[in-house]
Structure 1
Amino acid sequence: MHSYRRDLGLLRDRRFALLLSARTISVLGSAFAPVALAFGVLGLPGANATTLSVVLTAQALPMVVFMLVGGVIADRFPRSRVMMVGELVNALAFFALAAMLLTGWTPLPALVTAAAIGGVAMAVLFPALTGIIPDIVPAEQLQAGNALLGLGANSSRVAGAVLSGITVVLFGGGWALAVSGAMFAVAGLLIAALKMTPGERPAGEKRHSVLADLREGWHEFRSRQWIWVVVLQFSVMVMAIQAGHGVLGPLLAKESLGGAPAWSAFLAGEAVGTMAGVLFSLRLRPSRPILMATLLCLPIAVPYFMLGFSTPLWVIVGGAFVLGVCFDVFGVLWYTTMQREVPAESLSRVSSYDALGSLMFGPLGLMLAGPVAALVGTRSALIGCGVIVLLSTLAALLSPGVRNLRAPAAATAAQPAAPQPASG
């Protein structure tokens, strides 16, 4: 049987330990950003919800537009180098945002430009991160590796959610964004120390044009119904989540919940939930992993209804905890299944299609959140976010591919799983 001791043995592997450290520190930097950027922008003279929507959209839109290019780059070049560049460029973007807030020179075009550079960096970084895990982690320990990476990331989210609120209150959003930039820089240096050898990357990856690479990745993506259906579900769901988390939640916190500390408490509850989710995801071996992952999306609507219906803050934080548990277990099941089912040489491209599809309506949610809140009220807009999450998830459950995909028998028995051929 699998054991926690065997799972934790991955920590003795130097390369996995470096990847885990880099990912943990990078997420710690990211955890400062939502509170710091939201309240930093809202605190500017004359700024309102629409101003925040514009800045966040400027960050999210390039991430969507350049995601496919990021997937091709990550399948062509050593993923460790691609990740290093992404982290360092992200550091520069956040240092620029911090400098603007600290000096008081905050023209909207400059804020938008810096945010957009950060979005491009994330578009390069994300597909490489998904693809590098099977390069480092043995096939039979993929789920454990994803869970441990999740544990590090989730621990950082807990610390970041708490510390960011304190930093914003005591020192302001500019210093919190500077901390984010420093964390991204450290993560980039740790990734540089991975030193992946050329022999560990798939051979022949540079023989095709970019368009041919994209076509091959598209074929791998569309040939698996469970992938494209869940990605379509998330394209709608993430629109609601981006609106709720990026604009409507902070706006409601400022209006009636006590400001940045209240929203930090919400994010901390979510982050603690993701840590608890790690314990489930390490042990969980469902025979139908995508069905279970999709069912876990239903409770994600709960905190939006709580926010919309004037529930007490401590109850809302409990709802955020449930959201965190569900998100974490979903993520581990999703990425482990993709890493088993998709050929390694195409994994970053398929991951980029996954990310592109999932995030493509996110900027729309950010862009519409402010105007919709002004039109119908912040609480009603949050209730609408919950309804969208529920309906999109129920629609995905109609798919036979989502309901019927089975994990390898060895994996469901919690035994070391042999590498599986990609499904057609």
Structure 2
Amino acid sequence: MTIASATPPPSRRPAWAGRNYTLLTAAAVVTNLGSQGALIAAAFAVLQVGGSGGDVGLVAAARTVPLVLFLLVGGALADRLPRHRVMVAANVLNFLSQGAFALLVLNGDPRLWQMMALSALGGTGQAFFGPASEGMLMSTVSGEQAGRAFAFYRMAMHGAGIGGAALGGALIAVVGPGWVLAIDAAAFAVAGALRAFLDVSHIPPREAGGGMLSDLREGWREFVSRPWLWSVVVQFAVVNAVVAAAEAVYGPLVARDDLGGPGPWGFALAAFGAGTFCGALLMMRWKPRRLLLAGSLSIFPLALPSAALAVPLPVMALAAVMLLTGVSIEVFGVSWMTALSQEIPEEKLSRVSAYDWLGSIAMVPLATALAGPVQSAVGRTSALWGCSALIVLLTAAVLCVPDVRRLTRRTGPVAASAPADSADTEGALGRLG
């Protein structure tokens, strides 16, 4: 008689997809499904009560301003407290603010100041959530499988975002923006419940610090001590700004005047979304040895959409360019997350992430505000070529930084809390390479 083996069946999940990683990914999918549709719903909620395009911009800006103001505080707090508690508290704030927004819209008479105030609360929640979330994710995965794990996480987020935008647009047409906002509020509640079950026992207890300002100064020292880190963040402060100006301001204008209206522009943006999904899929298999060299080279294609709009290219050619750009940005994104996770000490991840976030978004409102005056001064075509030129020049400048070219993928987590100086870093990277 054959005796059944007592060996448990192998897990269907890969080794890098542990409990925390699975919970984080599931929660991110839920929130992205709701939030992408809610962004569209908020704009239509303003228009539904007779608001203008300028009013839509005010509601969007009301969300961005507190996000910029509170990011550094959020990063310091997430490195001081258990990160999952910060994430859950931020989700609760987003649930309450978005739920109140939904009730106002469903009751039929929301005021502009009310929508701006609730959007500001949502931005505040995001300011505290973002650094805590990145720190939690990067402390959950380490070693040679980190890149694959980050790629899958981003692929799941992008897939949910694409689906959420499509579903949200359809639901707005059927049931109205208020119910889409209510669904987003419910998504925050579900995601917060999932994140409450995160296990943080593997994270060492935080040592008592000297206060919030001391924590921020320590995070700043960590940030500026690494040339590869601050140089890329400075690069993206400008790159993100000019890309936002091109896509949010010039793109719709070119579509209106030369491409046949919003439909072709929406198709091009959908191609970009598909590209991000394909790029994340690529990075699940490709592990470039020199992380930031591969990532920085992939930024050059970001100059192509502005150039394509300057010509302008036909719709299908523009969509192909946007698809390539989506793939490229994911090559950079996964490489960047992997570099942060292996080079930054765990107890400082959220503060460094906050400086990264702040640099990435701080100039976006200014660039979008100045896009119109710049177009009036030099013409739309020249402005778009200028966007492309800035991206190329800044990317070339970043590649002149030795640490960007030399930083090499490791197979284990960062070993020390103190940042190395440039010479020590280059020596360590040379040995590991």
TM-score range, shorter chain: 0.7 to 0.9
CA contact (8 A) 1:298 1:390 kept: yes
Higher deviation after alignment, 333-342 or 182-191? 182-191
> Which residues of 2 match residues 7-406 of structure 1 at below 5 A?
9-10=14-15, 13-41=18-46, 45=50, 47-48=52-53, 50-194=54-198, 196-197=199-200, 199-250=201-252, 262-369=264-371, 382-406=384-408
Distance in 1, matches of 2:223 and 2:150, equals 21
Task: For residue 127 of structure 1, report the CA deviation from its aligned partner.
Answer: 0.7
1:270–1:324 contact (8 Å) kept in structure 2 = yes
CA 1:37 to 1:378, structure 2 compared with 1: closer, same or farther past 3 Å?
farther
Amino acid paired to 2:141: V
Is the deviation greater in 127-136 or in 259-268? 259-268
Q: Cα distance, 1:300 vs. partner? A: 1.5
**TM-score normalised by the chain length of structure 2:** 0.84
Question: Would the aligned equivalents of 1:165 and 1:260 in 2 still touch at CA under 8 Å?
Answer: no
Q: Is the 8 A contact 2:277 2:327 kept in 1?
A: yes
Q: Residue 303 of structure 1 contacts residue 320 of structure 1 at CA under 8 Å; is this kept in 2?
A: yes
Distance, in Å, in 2 between the alignment partners of 1:45 and 1:372 is 29
Code of the aligned partner of 2:415: P
Provide the rounded CA distance (Å) in 1 between the counterparts of 2:147 and 2:377: 45
Deviation, structure 1 residue 214: 1.0
Residues 292, 261 of structure 1: CA spacing in aligned structure 2 closer, same or farther, 3 A cutoff? same
Question: Could you state the TM-score of these two structures normalised by the residue count of structure 1?
Answer: 0.85
Q: What secondary structure, in the 3-state scheme, does the structure 2 residue paired with 1:276 have? A: helix
Output the CA distance in 2 between the equivalents of 1:33 and 1:378: 31
What letter corresponds to residue 189 of structure 2 in structure 1? A
The 1:45–1:335 alpha-carbon spacing in structure 2 relative to 1, beyond 3 Å, is same
User: By how many angstroms is 1:147 displaced?
Assistant: 1.3
Offset of 1:387 from its aligned partner? Answer: 3.8
Separation (CA, whole Å) in 2 of partners of 1:256 and 1:114: 37
User: Which piece of structure 1 moves more, 59-68 or 35-44?
Assistant: 35-44
Instruction: Identify which range, 326-335 or 178-187, moves more after superposition.
Output: 178-187
Q: Which consecutive residues of structure 2, in runs of 5 or more, have no partner in the other structure?
A: 1-9, 421-433
Per-residue deviation at 1:406? Answer: 2.5
Letter of the 1:419 counterpart:
P
Q: For 1:392, give the aligned amino acid.
A: L
CA distance in 2, matches of 1:305, 1:16: 39
- Residues 279 and 341 from structure 1, CA distance in 2 versus in 1: closer, same or farther, beyond 3 angstroms? same
- Shift, 1:130, TM fit: 1.2
Closer/same/farther in 2, CA of residues 319 and 23 from structure 1, 3 Å limit: same
d(CA) in 1 for partners of 2:170 and 2:384?
A: 26
Given the alignment, which residue of 401, 412, 422 partners 1:418? 412
Point out the structure with max Rg over C-alpha: 2
Relative distance call for 1:22 and 1:264 in structure 2 (3 A) is farther
SS at 1:206 equivalent:
coil
**C-alpha contact (below 8 Å) 2:17/2:149 kept by paired residues:** no
Deviations 1:371-408 (A, max 9, x none): 55677776765554434333332332232222232233
Instruction: Say which is worse superposed, 329-338 or 28-37, in terms of deviation.
Output: 28-37
The code of the aligned residue for 1:18 comes to L
Paired with 1:88 and 1:71, the residues of 2 have a C-alpha distance of: 18
Q: Which moved more, 1:216-225 or 1:249-258?
A: 249-258
Whether the 8 Å CA contact 1:305–1:382 is kept in 2: the answer is yes
Worse-matched range after superposition: 11-20 or 222-231: 11-20
Residue 14 of structure 2 aligns to a residue whose secondary structure is helix
SS of the equivalent of 1:207 reads: coil
Give the superposition deviation at 1:255. Answer: 6.8
**CA 222–23 in structure 1, closer or farther in 2 if over 3 Å, else same:** same
Equivalents in 2 of 1:111, 1:308: separation in Å? Answer: 36
In structure 2, the CA distance between the partners of 1:102 and 1:347, relative to structure 1 (3 Å rule), is: same
Contact 1:157/1:268 (CA < 8 Å) preserved in 2?
Answer: no
**Aligned pair in 2 of structure 1 residues 206, 190: CA closer, same or farther (>3 Å)?**
same
Deviation at 1:353, TM superposition (A): 1.0
Deviates more, 1:383-392 or 1:321-330: 383-392
Residues 233 and 260 from structure 1, CA distance in 2 versus in 1: closer, same or farther, beyond 3 angstroms? same
With over 3 angstroms needed to count, the CA separation of the structure-2 counterparts of 1:28 and 1:361, relative to structure 1, is same
Deviations 1:61-82 (A, max 9, x none): 2111111111111111111111
Quickly say closer, same or farther: Cα 1:282–1:53, change in 2 above 3 A: same
- What's the RMSD between the two structures over aligned residues? 3.0
**Offset of residue 223 of structure 1:** 0.7
Q: Secondary structure at the match of 1:31?
A: helix
Gaps of 5+ in 1: 409-416
